[in-house]
């Protein structure tokens, strides 16, 4: 894996630009990685609904849940599918809209200083080995590219938005991720 420092794009991966992004505050340092989980519709895997959601193209008539969320303007930097396939929606140097109302160690607005990584999954299902391997490789690549990031500043969406968010959930194995990161 490699990140182009000029464009903020990862390779190899699929690139699908999301309109749901903007510039980070001037002189803002990237120093947090936020792990999320998502499946659309909830609990269903595969298909292109997540990509359409982050592209503002989700059809509200396709599923009752989509009627609730289709007007939301959200994105993430990266999606890691169940099979390990990676899609990038927002360049790393830009602000993706993944964290919402959030706080990390007393700092508000985590979107300003974080990278959001979505894993295709749910709060209760286990994640696949391919996802952990890709996630660990991505984190190592991010840390090598953006020296302000470290393994000590990786957190879940539930930790920066407690009471509002529960992902990546009980199915996410933090020890497995730590082991993979330690072995790199």
Active site residues: 118
Find, among 40, 99, 97, the residue nearest to 66 by Cα.
40
How many other C-beta atoms are found inside a 10 Å radius of the C-beta of residue 59?
11
Within its chain, how far is the Cα of 141 from the centroid? Answer: 15
Decide: helix, strand or coil at residue 142.
helix
Contact 155, 178 (CB under 8 A): no
């Amino acid at each position: 894996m490699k990140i182009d420092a000029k464009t903020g794009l990862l390779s190899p991966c699929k690139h699908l630009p999301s309109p749901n992004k903007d510039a980070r505050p001037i002189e803002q340092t990237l120093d947090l990685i936020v792990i999320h989980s998502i499946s659309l519709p909830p609990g269903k895997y595969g298909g292109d609904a997540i990509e359409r959601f982050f592209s503002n193209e989700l059809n509200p008539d396709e599923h009752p849940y989509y009627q609730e969320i289709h007007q939301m303007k959200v994105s993430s930097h990266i999606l890691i599918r169940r099979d390990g396939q990676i899609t990038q929606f927002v360049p790393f140097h830009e602000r993706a809209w993944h964290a919402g109302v959030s706080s990390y160690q007393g700092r508000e607005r985590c979107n300003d200083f974080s990278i959001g990584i979505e894993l295709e999954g749910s709060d209760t299902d286990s994640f696949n080995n391919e996802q952990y391997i890709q996630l660990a490789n991505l984190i190592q690549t991010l840390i090598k590219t953006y020296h302000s990031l470290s393994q000590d500043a990786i957190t879940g969406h539930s930790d920066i938005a407690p009471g509002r968010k529960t992902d990546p959930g009980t199915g996410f194995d933090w020890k497995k991720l730590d082991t993979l990161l330690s072995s790199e």
